Amino acid sequence: MQTARGTSITESTVDNSHRQVRRRWLYVCLSIAVAAVGLVVDVITKQLAAGRLDPYNPVVLFGGLLRLQLIRNSGAAFSLGEGYTPVFAALAAAALLFVLIVLLPRLGHVGWAVALGFLMAGVAGNLTDRIFRSPGVFRGHVVDFLQLPHWPIFNVADMCVCTAAVMIVILAIFKNISVGGEHYVRAKPDEQSRTAGSERSES
């Protein structure tokens, strides 16, 4: 009886472990799929913009709500930090490796899978420009071509990064969900002060 019960518990534990592994791989596949789609859309739209848009004759759409204005950006997202192209390229490569090596293996939530997918798509999209476009490797200028009123010119990769940032803030700060899918409770300020006071009194 005890042997049967122990065997049943062991089998249940193994089954749960296998399900967790399968679920984690599904999340990883989802994240990579989102990244791949985002990267492909970014590369295609940049190629079309670079080949068909005239930098001196922007296309105005939707009554001026959107302008297709082609520029070559040596800085970061939204043309920030121009002149530091190699630095941004190195940081982008490091960020992409961090997501692939550290965060993806820990995935345990569908929202985080999508968020990291968008993040990888955005980082990889602009990094691709910096590697393969002129004037040289890790010095290439990023193709930007989308402009909203009173907003810097951007591209699809920038949109992916911003989408990822919003999702990460919602998941980590407002919903208190970690990359692994665990829910955690933040200590309230009054609880933190009581904890700090008790620690001081004990010392």
Annotated catalytic residues are: 144, 158
Q: Tell me, what amino acid is at 25? A: W
Residue whose token pair is 């798509």? 121
Interatomic CA distance for residues 118 and 162, integer angstroms: 9
Q: In what order do the strands lie in the sheet with 142-147?
A: 59-61, 66-73, 142-147
Interatomic CA distance for residues 144 and 69, integer angstroms: 8
User: Is 17 exposed, middle or buried, given 0-12, 13-18 or 19+ CB atoms closer than 10 A?
Assistant: exposed
Q: What angle do CA 192, 194, 196 make, to 5 degrees?
A: 70
Interatomic CA distance for residues 173 and 168, integer angstroms: 8
Q: Structure tokens of 16?
A: 């749960």
